[in-house]
Amino acid sequence: METEKLEHWNDASPPLIISGPCSAESEKQVLETAQALAKLHGISVFRAGVWKPRTRPGDFEGQGLKALSWLKKATRETGLKTAVETGLPEHVKACLDHGIDIIWIGARTAVSPFAIQDIAKELKGQDLPVMVKNPVNADLDLWIGAMERINEAGIKKIIAVHRGFYTYKPGRFRNDPLWEMPIELRRRIPGLPIVCDPSHICGKKECIREIAQKALNLGFDGLMIESHIRPGDACTDAAQQLSPAELSSLLQMLVVRDNDKPDDCLQELEKLRSLIDKTDEDLLRILSERHEIVKQVARIKREYNQPAFQPERWRKVLEDRVRSGIRLGLDTAMVKAIMEQIHRDSVKNQSDFLENDAG
Ligand code: PEP
Ligand code: MN
């Protein structure tokens, strides 16, 4: 996928901060929110949902077409760029006709290749930036596929938006962040800008700062945070929208990481990284030694006609390794995950060995 780096087309200094209400509700609400946000330092894009994809019919579905001119008025009055969600080709056409600066594709639309293809067709020949939220389900290929379809229509200014993933388990978050997803996305498409949407991950105000900071710590390129002039009155997502004052103090508290690395920093990193490379090599050598011992264990089990998996021994191994891990200051979940993977591999090797014997 051939995409343009954010700094090539966006003049605002990083990180890119996008904010505004979940929904455009009235001209007054749009203008008052935009004016308050324009006074804060660092916000360059004003977002608002104009067509809202609702779970149940009859809920507030946005103000539609007429809200686009409120957004353009907001741009004229504040200089902020505008971003709108589009779920259908006619939404895209309306945004293009009104000169909306940026469009985004929501999480419910990103799951549907047909819907994305229709939107991509409408975007052919255009040059505006398109943000693609992750699909609600945790499927990285589906997310990448959606961006590829938009990219194949000729759009180079693509931004991935990480808004978390649907989860059955009620937990701290409305949508599970599954950080491994955007991390893997960055590994697979290094130049692609990624923005985090902590509002939809959290679903409530309280943890937005923590998630936003984590995204910056991971090197994300920006944040999309919902804000409303009077969050308590919001027609949608009232619990997660910040007032301009709340947003202002959050932005002041965030620590922005530097993406340029000075020479001294590079040198120090280089030294430590070569130590890490050596340690990883040692880890792999020790794993291979362990593997040789497992092979001997398999031979003994075959000789004495023993099963490959011995639950009592495994229970003791796991308990013992978790204890050692705690003593060594390692994260218990990590130690468990590593030991479980090693044990799975060991049991597989032994049962393959016994199976060959049986065959
Ligand atoms: C939104 O940004 O208001 C929205 C509907 O988000 P998502 O598509 O991530 O649910
Ligand atoms: Mn919302």
Give the start-to-end residue ranges of the domains of the chain. 6-253, 263-358
Ligand nearest to the CA of 83: 1
Neighbour count for residue 124 (Cβ, 10 Å): 10
Decide: residue 208, CB within 10 A, 0-12 exposed, 13-18 middle, 19+ buried.
Answer: buried
Q: What is the mean pLDDT of residues 246-258?
A: 96
Q: What is the pLDDT of residues 270-280, one digit of tens each?
A: 999 999 999 99
Measured distance CA(53)–CA(235) in Å, rounded:
13
- What is the spatial distance between Cα 353 and Cα 349, in angstroms, rounded to a whole number? 6
CA separation for the pair 212, 254 (Å, rounded): 8
Query: pTM of the prediction?
Result: 0.88
Residue with CA nearest ligand 1 atom 2: 22
In this predicted model, what pLDDT tens digit does every residue of 304-357 receive, in sequence order?
A: 999 888 999 999 999 999 999 999 999 999 999 999 999 999 999 998 988 886
- The architecture (CATH level 2) of 6-253 comes to Alpha-Beta Barrel (3.20)
Q: Angle, to 10 degrees, between the axis of helix 332-358 and the axis of helix 311-327? A: 150
Ligand 2 center to 339 CA (angstroms): 40
Nearest CA to ligand 1 atom 5: 106
145 pLDDT above the threshold of 90: yes
pLDDT for 130 beyond 70: yes
pLDDT in tens, 75-129: 999 999 999 999 999 999 999 999 999 999 999 999 999 999 999 999 999 999 9
The whole-angstrom separation of Cα 85 and Cα 46 is: 12
Of the pLDDT bands very low, low, confident and very high (cuts 50, 70, 90), residue 183 is very high
- d(C-alpha 29, C-alpha 235), whole Å: 11
Average pLDDT over residues 44-54: 96
Look at ligand 1, atom 4, and give the residue with the nearest C-alpha.
106
Among residues 94, 96, 97, 115, the alpha carbon closest in space to that of 50 is found at: 94
Model pLDDT, residue 191: 92
CATH node for 263-358? 1.20.59.10
